[in-house]
Amino acid sequence: MVQAHKGSFIAAPLLFAALFFIFIGSGCGKREGDEPTKYRSQAGLEKLTMQAQITQNNPKFSFARNVTPANPSGKDIDSIIRPVLVRTFKDARLVSAKGPEAPQRDGEVVEDRLVYSVNVLLREPDGDKLHAAFRSVGFVTSPRLGSKPTHSRGNVYMSLFRSTSLRGYSFVIVVDTGKQQIELESYRLGSKYDRLM
């Protein structure tokens, strides 16, 4: 009888230890989210990082002051250019607007020069993206620079025609990845560069 009583004292701690290990092993009492999940959140983290790199904000944009063109043709041009830039790059500000310039040696006249800053950091592929966006809303390619965007030293050049109720325009648009801006030159119509030679 004493031996049986002694055995129950030995069995009780062993039983307690066995129950403790079963309890711990089953995951009871463990809260979800106490430790980082390796697989579930890692893919999401990589996706967010990639998106942040693709759509990284342009630091110059936050300091850019929006201006209004002084002449009617500049206002007309801005009304057809800015909506395409906003749709393509989320936001755009006109940071410089100049009127007619003196004729160049070859007789070319730049009637308006507009410079835009956009909300995202410009990369070379954005030039092709912008060209496609202009084409999708009725801009027509011109022979001045050809029907496709031209890439040179990280910048992208394109030439397009567009008419409004006010008049017709011949544009050269440069996506400048170095200066992080989009520059537009509007040339006087009738130039030999706008015709097939």
Per-chain mean pLDDT for the chain: 83
- H or E segment and range at residue 66: none
User: What are the structure tokens assigned to 151, written together?
Assistant: 């890439």
Q: Which region among 15-19, 149-153, 160-164 has the lowest average model confidence (pLDDT)?
A: 15-19
Tens of pLDDT, residue by residue over 174-183, are 999 999 999 9
Tens of pLDDT, residue by residue over 114-133, are 999 999 999 999 999 999 99
* Confidence tier at 55 by pLDDT (50, 70, 90): low
Percent of all residues in the chain with a pLDDT value above 70, rounded to a whole number? 72
pLDDT for 57: 86
pLDDT for 39: 44
Percent of all residues in the chain with a pLDDT value above 90, rounded to a whole number? 63
Q: Where are the domains of the chain?
A: 2-53, 57-194
State how far the Cα of 4 lies from the Cα of 21, in Å rounded to an integer: 26
Asked if 136 contacts 144 with a C-beta cutoff of 8 angstroms, the reply is no
Task: Record the pTM.
Answer: 0.71
Whole-angstrom CA distances from 89 to 28, 60, 141, 171 are 51, 14, 21, 20
Tens of pLDDT, residue by residue over 1-48, are 445 555 555 555 555 555 555 555 555 554 444 444 444 566 655 555
Which are the contacts of 160, defined by CB distance < 8 A and separation ≥ 6?
Answer: 134, 139, 140, 141, 142, 171, 173
Please give the single-letter amino acid code of residue 91: D
